[in-house]
Amino acid sequence: MIDILGHIRAGYYLYAQSVTYGVAAFILTSCVAFLSSKNKNSSVIFQSLYFVLILYIAAIVWHKIYKVIHFQLEEQLTVKVTQVFEQSFLEWTKTGYMPLFLFLVWGGFYLGIKWYMTHQAQQNKLTRALLDKKQAQLETLRYQLNPHFLFNVLNSIDVSVLSNDRDTAHHMLSHLSKFLRNTLQDGENDKVTLEKEFEVIQNFVSIEQLRFGEALEVQINLDDACRSALIPPMLLQPLMENAIKYAWSQKETGYVSISASKLAQTLKIIIRNNKAAVEAVNKGTGTGLKNTQERLQLAYGKDASIQTFELDHSFEVEVNIPWEEYL
């Protein structure tokens, strides 16, 4: 019978101890969370000292509560509780190593999780901010259409109408409408297929050929294997505009070509015109090259490149970007 009562008492003791630990942990966590929120703008040293002080006080209180529960189970509650509360200040501040260790571990565990969650939230916020900034930069570069191109096209349409050349005006307006529609629609996407991009180039080239007539020859070559490749929209138009401008500036017929091919896991695009590189650099502003280079840097980092080559009778721009394919 005595053994049974002993087991019951031991079970009750463990139960009371577990409940008390749980309540103490809940209260401590709530207090630490509340105090951390109130002192989040304080220095790290101040927060650390504040945290240690709170844990120490909590350990003292827990040590006294633990004694009360222990004495109650030993049926010495009245005497021992009186002794606990009649202790001196120095005696009150004494606490066992175990309560202090447990509270430090629990507090450190809580603050560790809190720090990790705060760090992750800050990282996510920083990542979103960088992405938003990057997207804004891409949008700015994407919509930097050369206003002179639009002015020249509209002026050519006006000349065609005044000279009663309605067919030329009609075809020019038709290609311009398709070009602008594709520009606005594709501008909403981060990437488009190379086939789609070449359609935009074809409309642009058709407009320029209507303007310059037989003074401009353009050749477009697109491998079938590259049609589904993905690139940023309106990436090639500024380069084609520069190439046509430099090629046509000569008195002889201007020649421009654009080709795309797959080399290993790289998409290679080459734009060539029959303008000397020295003349092109001296007379041109280089806006198209700079725009394309900045967009490639934002979209691919160091994985993409743009290079220029001065050949004997032509100027060549080579664009290399990582291979991506629309599935």
In this prediction, residue 91 carries a pLDDT of 52
Q: Residue 237: what are its φ and ψ, rounded to 5°? A: -60, -45
In this prediction, residue 77 carries a pLDDT of 45
**DSSP string of 56-97?**
HHHHHHHHHHHHHHHHHHTT-HHHHHHHHHTS-HHHHH---H
Q: Residue 325: what are its φ and ψ, rounded to 5°? A: -130, 140
Of 276, 306, 275, whose CA–CA distance to 291 is shortest?
306
Of 156, 280, 295, whose CA–CA distance to 213 is shortest?
156
- In this structure, are residues 149 and 241 in contact, taking their beta carbons and an 8 Å threshold? yes
Within 13 Å of residue 319, how many CA atoms lie on the same side as its CB? 28
* Positions of CATH 3.30.565.10 in the chain: 143-322
Amino acid, single-letter form, for residue 300: Y
From first to last of its 327 residues, the chain has per-residue pLDDT tens of 545 544 455 555 555 555 565 566 566 666 666 666 666 555 656 666 666 676 667 666 666 666 655 555 444 444 444 554 555 444 545 555 565 666 667 666 766 777 788 778 888 887 776 766 666 555 655 555 567 778 888 888 888 888 888 888 899 999 888 888 887 776 667 889 999 999 989 998 999 888 888 888 999 999 999 999 999 888 898 899 888 888 876 567 889 999 999 999 999 999 999 864 445 444 444 667 887 888 888 889 899 999 999 887 889 999 999 999 987
| CATH superfamily, domain at 143-322 | Histidine kinase-like ATPase, C-terminal domain (3.30.565.10)
In this prediction, residue 291 carries a pLDDT of 79
